Chains A and B, each alone.
Chain A
Amino acid sequence: MDKIDHYIRISQLIAREVNYELTTEEKLELDNWLNESKENLDLYHSIRNREKFLDWDQQLHQINTEKGWDRFESTIKPHWSINTFKTVLRYAAVILIPLFLSGIGYFIYNDISSLPQQHGQVKDQKQMKPMARLILADGSKVNLENQENVALKEKDGTLIEKDAGRLKYQNKANEDSKVLYNTVEIPNGANYQLCLTDGTKVYLNSMSALKFPTQFSGKTREVQLTGEAYFEVVKDKEHPFLVNVSGTRIEVLGTSFNVKAYSDENEIVTTLVEGSVKVNPSEVDKSTLLKPGQQAVVDVKKEGILVQDVDVNLFTSWKDGVFLFKAKRLEDIMNELTRWYDLKVFYMNPAVKDLRFGGHFNKDEEFESIMEMFELTRKINIEVNGKTILISAK
């Protein structure tokens, strides 16, 4: 058995070397193996031939796995109970789609372009959700979910263009009128994109709201956020952009960054992609300046602030419609999933909350198949009852 582990290890090293550079130790490990024998070196060169990989890839697609399983299934059928047969029927939908399962079963992905049937199911499931809406200065509400393109006009004359999934505020010449505030609220299962009058772009995540003036006036550009948003702020040194989020103020000159501050998480996480931002927690005198690739975590209760280096992809992939996790606690993953899928999660054993998972899947994915993927890791049992999820230890 040791042998095969060694073969797999070498394979992984070569695969990784194809796509990016190895760490120094890994490089050394691979080099040592290559220097062991001429056979190793020959094998290495033969594998690293791109044409050969492409041929292999083509052959792989010619294998009819479905037919193979049908044959296998008919051979072993007599051993099955009625129950297991039901299970297979339940999974029949899954067999038909090119379901990816990585070597460790952790990575989760379906190519939505090849999944028309499943797409339909997702839509059905999302029909009954609350609306994304815009609340105008006088309190009137505009449904943001119909696909029509419309232009609205605020009391101060600001023009607001709405098209599918996006709102754009037009800059207005005269600035004498008093400041009006609009609010955009996004329920679970939706994202929304806003373009403010200064050209700043805001991507609002599920269960989030942003309050902002229809026109920026005065020395600063100030907005109020609850939940999560990704900002691409237009540079204007004279008028710093300020994000207020449960008592913490984030000061920006011109930059892209993500702020996550859901009330059930008791922390405000600011992740900087480019530029620079200053994070000022309330009642803490010192402010913290972030560099690109850094993240500030403000603990709302303790009023502490922690700065760490992170992979920003993990914190911003949501705006591109992707869930991306890496060694993340199950409870944190589930919190994120509930905001998108409107679920209730119950943990039968508190310890499972701390299990860590990595994964990657599109937000169009049906949640049942995501839950099945978690089960396949064999770390946890998941029971789905409509919108209620019960998670227990294996």
Chain B
Amino acid sequence: MKRKTKEFQQFFERFYPMLCLFAQKYVQDSDVAADMVQESFIKLWKGKDDFENQSAVKAFLYTVTRNNCLNYLKHNKIVLDYSLQVMEKDLFYRDHIIEQETYMAIHDAIEVLPSQGKRVVEMSMRGIKNPEIAERLSISVNTVKSVKANAYRLLRLRLQDVVVLLIMFVFL
């Protein structure tokens, strides 16, 4: 594994937030979660492993983070045995990976919208109706409608590409 710092940093910045949320599902406390994720990245950095692609690195980070969290919980005897048993299950692990990955994909697609489209989509996801969006952005209701239509078209385009191109991406 080549340790090019700038590339590693981009990777870190991309996956650190979602891994922290993943870790929080186990340890609840956000500071502890950040520590667990930190350790995982250090292990990735120091490790001699070769990774075929991005999902292999992701798998590594998810697994190591999970183990760090479970060890922490066991060592500190914080949670009840019953909770720990649930958390140790593969299903718990799987469910939270799928949740993180799904939300990240939706988040990413919204994030790359042109700024007005992004604001309109975010507001309408929060249940704000078109007339109020129009008022807040000082634009007409018809403009809100067309911005929305255009934004959803772009979202569709993006999410399509993510699936196709994910396969092409090689991390190392």
Whether A14 lies near B115 (C-beta < 8 A) is no
Q: Does B74 contact A (CB under 8 A)?
A: no
Q: From A1, A100, A358, give the contact of B108 (CB < 8 A).
A: A100
In the complex with contacts A7-B97, A47-B99, A68-B38, A63-B114 CB distance below 8 A: no
Whether B159 lies near A12 (C-beta < 8 A) is yes
Whether B38 lies near A12 (C-beta < 8 A) is no
Q: Please provide the chain B residues from 1 to 31 with a CB less than 8 Å away from any CB of chain A in the complex.
A: 3-7, 9-10, 12-14, 16-18, 20-21, 24, 30
Whether B103 lies near A360 (C-beta < 8 A) is no
Q: Does A181 contact B (CB under 8 A)?
A: no
Q: From B20, B52, B169, give the contact of A63 (CB < 8 A).
A: B20
Whether A65 lies near B17 (C-beta < 8 A) is yes
Closest to B24 in A: A59
Q: Does B170 contact A (CB under 8 A)?
A: yes
Residue of A19, A54, A90, A376 with most chain B CB atoms under a 10 A cut-off: A19
Q: How does the 8 Å CB contact mask read for B111-122 relative to A, with 1 for contact and 0 for none?
A: 110110010000
Q: How does the 8 Å CB contact mask read for A85-129 relative to B, with 1 for contact and 0 for none?
A: 001101100010001111111111101110000000000000000
Give min CB distance, B169 to chain A, whole Å. Answer: 4
Whether A102 lies near B103 (C-beta < 8 A) is no
Q: From A4, A103, A358, give the contact of B105 (CB < 8 A).
A: A103
Q: Enumerate chain B residues within 8 angstroms of A362, measured Cβ to Cβ.
A: 114-115
Q: Enumerate chain B residues within 8 angstroms of A56, measured Cβ to Cβ.
A: 21, 99, 103
Give min CB distance, A45 to chain B, whole Å. Answer: 12
Q: Does B41 contact A (CB under 8 A)?
A: yes
Q: Is the interface of A mostly helix, strand, loop or mixed?
A: helix
Whether B111 lies near A100 (C-beta < 8 A) is yes
Interface window among B56-64, B65-73, B78-86, B129-137: B56-64
Q: Does B106 contact A (CB under 8 A)?
A: yes
Cα–Cα, bound, A84→B8 (Å): 11
Whether B102 lies near A15 (C-beta < 8 A) is yes
Q: From B7, B46, B125, give the contact of A54 (CB < 8 A).
A: B125
Cα–Cα, bound, A20→B34 (Å): 34
Cα–Cα, bound, A68→B23 (Å): 14
- List B residues at the A interface (Cβ < 8 Å): 3-7, 9-10, 12-14, 16-18, 20-21, 24, 30, 34, 37-38, 41-42, 45-46, 52, 54-56, 58-59, 62, 91, 94-95, 97-109, 111-112, 114-115, 118, 125-126, 150, 152-163, 165-166, 168-171
Given contacts A47-B102, A65-B16, A320-B114, 4 further A-B contacts (CB under 8 A): A15-B101, A56-B99, A63-B34, A104-B162
Q: List 18 A-B contacts (CB under 8 A).
A: A4-B62, A5-B55, A8-B101, A13-B163, A16-B159, A43-B99, A47-B98, A47-B103, A54-B126, A90-B6, A91-B6, A106-B161, A107-B108, A107-B158, A109-B112, A311-B157, A378-B7, A378-B169
